[in-house]
Amino acid sequence: MSDQVASVLKSWGEPAYRLKQVDDARRSGAREWDEVTTLPKALRTRLAEVVPLWTVAPDAMAESRDGTIKWRLRTADGLAIESVLIKHARGRRTLCVSSQAGCALGCRFCATGTMGPGRDLTAREIADQAYLAADSARGAEARLSNIVFMGMGEPLQNTSAVFDAIREIHAPDGLGISARSIAVSTAGWVPGIEELVAFEVPVRLALSLHAADDDTRSALMPINNRWPIANVLAACRRYADRTGRRVFIEYLLLDGVNDNVSDARRLASQLRDGRFHVNLIEYNATGGDYRGSPPDRARRFAEELQEAGLHPSFRRSRGADSAAACGQLAAKAR
Ligand code: SAH
Ligand code: SF4
């Protein structure tokens, strides 16, 4: 993958195994060039003068009561991005990574969307988020078992870096995380879904649908004007057929917006072909106009889906008390 360290080493005529030594050191948690003791001292010193060992550096950290950890990280050009490590039973951890600094798609309910467009992260910046988290999990005698592209940004607008990062995260000599434990979430960027159909690592795909009709969805997510529901579901079906895995439909329950019984019926009628699994998501308030559905409405919605033969799951909000939850990622300090 494109890696500044790799190009520096190459331009200095260093043998290829040097890069492997650097990668091994990153994997085992070295934070500074001085800790990469497999390299000759003189080389370490020269490297430290021209290139950082990591492309992202932890800048601030917050831990919430449920054990969720949120990092604010800085890129070398000073942008703030965030990644969130979620704690599960039996020492497992899921990392929610960012793929862009900011997001151009402007979904009305999303804190990152209000930041506006930033820039695509590089493959190294994405993989480094995972390596730092893997090291932190190890320190807590836990294991980074899952990666979800549900942090800042739209991963399928940045496929070349995201795919390279996934290749590395998935590789046995990278982090060795299985394809079914990696999930890419999209707001419905159809050309990116098509690229995913051709991608060799059969990761899980999640579609942020959040509405059952085009008018409601377009009001929440401007991208729907470009690729309406029927188009994006068709692309998801192609992905389900190619991988033999169901596509997750993410559905944020918003009070009075998309949580009627009629919405549930309409949703079910479009997803009945066995290729989808619905995840109902609790809304994390971000200070905008929306409120999450009250529990009885959410229950009624779920029952309606159940009666229609879909078996939705509920995604509880994690890390909400430290603003570490999905959709709340908008690094304040810029
Ligand atoms: N851009 C991609 C991935 C990042 S957003 C996407 O939109 O899918 C990850 C998930 O968080 C999406 O399902 C998104 O709709 C959801 N989300 C955004 N704001 C949220 C909020 N305030 N509360 C709960 N989920 C939110
Ligand atoms: Fe971007 Fe996803 Fe937020 Fe929409 S929900 S603004 S696509 S990060």
Which of the ligands is closest to the CA of residue 328? 1
Grade residue 329 by pLDDT with cuts at 50, 70 and 90: low
Q: Phi, psi (5° rounding) for residue 277?
A: -130, 125
Whether 302 has a pLDDT exceeding 70, the answer reads yes
Give yes or no: residues 59 and 44 share one domain: no
Containing structural domain, residue 171: 55-322
Give a yes or no: residue 332 inside a domain: no
Give yes or no: residues 21 and 68 share one domain: no
Cα 105 to ligand 2 centre (Å): 6
Give yes or no: residues 74 and 5 share one domain: no
Whether 334 has a pLDDT exceeding 50, the answer reads no
Tell me the C-alpha distance between 130 and 95, whole Å: 7
| Six token digits for residue 218 | 């377009």
CATH number at residue 301: 3.20.20.70
Q: With a 6 A CB cut-off, is 157 part of the ligand 2 pocket? A: no
Give yes or no: residues 74 and 209 share one domain: yes
Give yes or no: residues 125 and 249 share one domain: yes
Give a yes or no: residue 329 inside a domain: no
pLDDT, tens digit (0-9, with 9 covering 90-100), for 211-228: 999 999 999 999 999 999
Asked whether 217 and 211 are in contact (CB, 8 A), the reply is yes
Query: Which domain-ending residue is among 34, 53, 72?
Result: 53
Give a yes or no: residue 119 inside a domain: yes
Give a yes or no: residue 334 inside a domain: no
Phi-psi region of 188 (alpha: psi -120 to 50; beta: other; left: phi over 0): left
Helix (H, G, I), strand (E, B) or coil at 230: helix
Give yes or no: residues 23 and 143 share one domain: no
Which residue lies with its CA nearest to atom 3 of ligand 1?
150
Q: With a 6 A CB cut-off, is 107 part of the ligand 2 pocket? A: yes
Cα 235 to ligand 1 centre (Å): 20
Give a yes or no: residue 333 inside a domain: no
How many domains does the chain fold into?
2
Tell me the C-alpha distance between 89 and 98, whole Å: 24
Give yes or no: residues 108 and 168 share one domain: yes
Grade residue 320 by pLDDT with cuts at 50, 70 and 90: low
Pick from 225, 105, 218: nearest CA to 155: 105
Give yes or no: residues 123 and 11 share one domain: no
Give yes or no: residues 46 and 66 share one domain: no
Q: With a 6 A CB cut-off, is 186 part of the ligand 1 pocket? A: yes
pLDDT, tens digit (0-9, with 9 covering 90-100), for 64-81: 888 899 999 999 899 999
Could you tell me the pTM of the whole model?
A: 0.94
| Six token digits for residue 206 | 């999640």
Residue range 183-196: mean pLDDT, rounded: 98
In the chain, % of residues over pLDDT 70: 94
Whether 2 has a pLDDT exceeding 60, the answer reads no
Which of the ligands is closest to the CA of residue 232? 1
Whether 161 has a pLDDT exceeding 90, the answer reads yes
Q: What's residue 28's pLDDT?
A: 83
Give yes or no: residues 107 and 38 share one domain: no
Give the number of other Cβ atoms within 10 Å of residue 23's Cβ. 18
pLDDT, tens digit (0-9, with 9 covering 90-100), for 237-294: 999 999 999 999 999 999 999 999 999 999 999 999 999 999 999 998 887 889 999 9
Q: What's residue 293's pLDDT?
A: 96
Query: Which domain-ending residue is among 32, 53, 74?
Result: 53
Q: What's residue 114's pLDDT?
A: 86
Tell me the C-alpha distance between 247 and 240, whole Å: 6
Cα 206 to ligand 2 centre (Å): 13
Whether 54 has a pLDDT exceeding 50, the answer reads yes
Stretch among 3-7, 50-54, 198-202, 269-273 having the lowest mean pLDDT: 3-7
In the chain, % of residues over pLDDT 90: 82
Give the β-pairing of 56-63 and 69-75.
antiparallel
Q: With a 6 A CB cut-off, is 154 part of the ligand 2 pocket? A: yes
The residue among 324 and 188 whose pLDDT is bigger is: 188
Query: Which domain-ending residue is among 53, 68, 91?
Result: 53
CATH number at residue 5: 1.10.150
Q: What's residue 29's pLDDT?
A: 83
Mean pLDDT of the chain: 92
Give yes or no: residues 109 and 220 share one domain: yes
pLDDT, tens digit (0-9, with 9 covering 90-100), for 92-144: 999 999 999 999 999 999 988 888 898 999 999 999 999 999 999 988 899 99
Asked whether 273 and 241 are in contact (CB, 8 A), the reply is no
Whether 321 has a pLDDT exceeding 70, the answer reads no
Q: With a 6 A CB cut-off, is 110 part of the ligand 2 pocket? A: yes
Give yes or no: residues 8 and 123 share one domain: no
